[in-house]
Amino acid sequence: MRYTVQKRLVIFSFLCIPVGLLVLFLLYPTVKLFQFSFTNWNGISESFEYTGLKNYITAFQTPEVWTALGNNFLYFILHVIFIPLEVMVAVFLNNKIKGSNFFRSIVFMPYILNGVAVAYIFSYMYNPINGPLNALLGDMNLEFLIRNWLSDSSVVNYSLVAVSLWRFSGFHVILFLAGLQSVPADLYEAATIDGASAFQKFRYITAPGISRVIEIVLFLNVRGALQVFDIPFLMTQGGPGTASTTFTVYTIQTAFKYNNYGLASTLAVILMTIIIVFSMLQSKLFKGRDE
């Protein structure tokens, strides 16, 4: 057998398994997802009927869907507002201070905690009867701030977003810290010799140096905000009513609580489309700035 043929056989053999797994666990489910989005399948029966665009029309005409998207948007916008604070913490930890490795570990710790554990911890913190948060507010003579944090529809989403910020901000800080450490120290030394202020160093050296990290964090924020599920599902089940229902929680409830897999598949397709569109817009925005 010629060497060229042997080389092609080896390449084909190595590619066969990963390509097969890709087709089996990614392409095939995606195709079936699109197929079910045009049906009335209930997830149990062997047969279903094609309903055309009915599920898509129903999805856009359902008020709960827009409420859920609004809740997702609150997660996104508050995470974006926290980015400057995360960068400031990363800049602080990037300095040679005593115990910086300890503080980096503490900052990253919430991210590695299990979502169920985080939900139970904050369910206890927010407990209106014997929760530490309301007790602390009472000790500080701030009784007017005491709330039923998980059953008051006016504050429940902010309570859940606070949990999300506590859990994921540390991970973003570590990403920014990695970006800061990739910026050459020579640039800062040259700027210092030229008499640049701290703000000018940040504007002209630090910010451009971590622009790629900011792009990644924004993408993670978009994807995370649209896919947030475990914290609201475990802590409030989307309640009270639908006040804290996110898009993914509503999709899961549609599929497994109401047995409407056709509509749930449609919602999943819409979610995937939104993430792709936001990612393309974000890439185009940052690409334009780089140029």
- Is residue 259 exposed (0-12), middle (13-18) or buried (19+ Cβ within 10 Å)? middle
Rounded alpha-carbon distances, angstroms, from residue 198 to 98, 100, 144, 202, 217? 21, 21, 41, 6, 24
Mean pLDDT of 44-70: 91
Q: What is the CA radius of gyration of the chain?
A: 24
Residue 288: the pLDDT is 58
Mean pLDDT of 33-45: 91
Say how many C-beta atoms besides its own lie within 10 A of residue 257's C-beta: 10
In the DSSP assignment, the letter for residue 144 is G
Q: Give 87's contacts (C-beta < 8 A, 6+ positions apart).
A: 176, 210
Rounded Cα–Cα distance for residues 231 and 118 (Å) = 8
pLDDT per residue over 239-266, tens digit each?
888 899 999 999 999 999 899 999 999 9
277 sits in the region (left: phi over 0; alpha: psi -120 to 50; else beta) called alpha
Residues 41 and 48: beta-carbon distance below 8 Å? yes
Mean pLDDT of 59-80: 93
Question: Residue 38: is its pLDDT beyond 90?
Answer: yes
Rounded Cα–Cα distance for residues 194 and 189 (Å) = 9
Please, which pLDDT band fits residue 1 given cuts at 50, 70 and 90? low
What is the average pLDDT score of the chain? Answer: 89
More confidently predicted of 287 and 221: 221
Residue 291: the pLDDT is 54
Please, which pLDDT band fits residue 281 given cuts at 50, 70 and 90? confident
Please, which pLDDT band fits residue 21 given cuts at 50, 70 and 90? very high
What does the block give as tokens for 56? Answer: 């898509």
pLDDT per residue over 100-148, tens digit each?
788 888 888 999 888 899 999 999 999 988 889 999 999 998 888 888 9
Residue 159: the pLDDT is 94
Closest CA to 246 of 73, 59, 80: 73
Residue 44: the pLDDT is 85
Residues 107 and 89: beta-carbon distance below 8 Å? yes
